[in-house]
Structure 1
Amino acid sequence: MGFFITFEGVEGCGKTTQLRLLKERLQAAGEKVVATREPGGCPIADQMRAILLDAKNSAITPLAELLLYAAARAQHVQEVIAPALKRGETVLCDRFTDATLAYQGHGRELDLTVIGQLNGLATAGVQPALTVLIDCPVEIGLARALSRIEATTGAREERFELESVRFHERVRAGYLALAAAQPERFVIVDGSGDVAATEKRMLAALAKRLPAATQAALGA
């Protein structure tokens, strides 16, 4: 089996950039890597992503939102993640089940037990071996995210960025609570600095948490 790493954090924390940098390092060292994201990661789930992140769909109810995430995840796991792990590859995923607990559970204040049950159903037992939580103050993250959205020429995926600061504070607190409850799986990386500083912290945090072969490939 391969090794499954997820990247989590509030909007604009820098997780997507850090995932890309780790992917490049692993591939340069000869590792077979699949980089993917949620919601999305495959054609059917990408269509659900378009619905979930479009600010025009602000009328989506919290429960409908939760069920769409679960449906997208079920497709994604069976089509992309599980096959890659079976091939023995390293899978890097930008958001996974913890995002649903943080956003729909702590942010939307839906029942965490119900979310856990849906996550278990959607993943068919596939769980990350390691989760990198890139943490930064909400104000810093939102400023970065909104700046990125203004600069984009593609779809404006901003439905969550337009939520209140209080919502995002609940999400951040939810992530930190998840990390505190599962220290054997989570590593927390300070993402408030620039990209290079965050990458240095991430590599240091991962040095003893990756499989031996991967550590050797990175020179850790």
Structure 2
Amino acid sequence: MLTISFEGLPGSGKTTQARLLTERLRAEGLRVAHLPDLVTLDNDATGQQLVRLFASSGDPFLRYGDVLLDTFLAAAVRTHIVATHIQPAATSHDVLIEDRGAHTMYSYSLASLMRHHDVPVDDAIAWLRSFSALTGPEADLAVWLRPPVPIAVDRWSHRDNLTLTGEHRAFLAYVDAAYSELARHDPTVIRIDVHSQDPGGLHELVYAQLRSRLPTPSLA
């Protein structure tokens, strides 16, 4: 099973593009499992409790203000998703599409490390990568949708009727920088710059990048 995750800042178009790719690949005859964002993911009681604990600080980015605690909580959520959703899908699907995957966990933790701790970026990434052995496999391909940070922030705050502080906006700039560092170290990250494309046009860019790497639909 090929796994594809959509990564990027809030407002970058991940949810829309994950849905459009799912619909297209199903129309082409592939068996596709779609894993939605945490907010709408159908979790069991344990998963629901982990997500509540992870989000209970009320801050969408800084969480508990401690990168170790935030990262371990994110890893626990990821481990549970792998066990309850990703691994079971492998036996009956050709492709699994995630609306945010392991790189989201990495990017937010790396942003905190870059902003608040004097840690070499390469060392920080190596530490975060060690969580892969605990949480389960990453996506085979991570599609990083990258609009300019102010555009992503404005889209997201307008869509969800949020008032973001200057600290939140500054932190998202660090998240964007963290994605850049992750992409520099990871050949599975496919960067797609988002400008003024409509969703359909952006989807065609995404599909063009993925087409040669997709499995062939089964004739059965």
TM-score, structure 2 as length reference = 0.80
The reply on whether 1:167 has 2:171 as its aligned counterpart is yes
Task: Give the drift of 1:108.
Answer: 4.5
Task: Give the drift of 1:53.
Answer: 4.0
Change (3 A) 1:10 1:107: farther
- Give the match's secondary structure for 2:157: helix
Instruction: List per-residue Cα deviations over 1:35-73 (Å, max 9, x = no partner).
Output: 114547423334433443466356623322211111111
Tell me, yes or no, if the aligned pair for 2:2 and 2:94 is still in contact at 8 Å: yes
Task: Give the drift of 1:104.
Answer: 0.9
- Structure 2 partner of 1:33: 32
1:103 to 99, 108, 117: 108
- Structure 2 partner of 1:133: 144
Distance 1:88 1:36 in 2: 12
Matches within 5 A, 1:1-220: 2-37=1-36, 39=38, 41=41, 42-43=43-44, 44-53=46-55, 56=58, 60-62=64-66, 63-109=68-114, 111-123=124-136, 126-150=137-161, 163-183=167-187, 185-193=188-196, 194-211=198-215, 213=216
Distance 1:192 1:55 in 2: 33
Question: Once the two structures are aligned, what percentage of the paired residues are identical?
Answer: 27
Tell me, yes or no, if the aligned pair for 1:133 and 1:188 is still in contact at 8 Å: yes
Q: What is the number of residues matched between the two proteins?
A: 203
RMSD of aligned alpha carbons:
2.7
Tell me, yes or no, if the aligned pair for 1:4 and 1:91 is still in contact at 8 Å: yes
Task: Give the drift of 1:27.
Answer: 1.6
Change (3 A) 1:116 1:37: farther
Change (3 A) 1:47 1:108: farther
Tell me, yes or no, if the aligned pair for 1:39 and 1:48 is still in contact at 8 Å: no
Change (3 A) 1:54 1:28: farther
Q: Which runs of 5+ in 1 are unaligned?
A: 151-155
Task: Give the drift of 1:134.
Answer: 0.6
Change (3 A) 1:85 1:134: same
Instruction: List per-residue Cα deviations over 1:172-194 (Å, max 9, x = no partner).
Output: 111122223223x1221122322
Distance 1:59 1:141 in 2: 20
Moved over 6 A (4+): none
Distance 2:175 2:76 in 1: 21
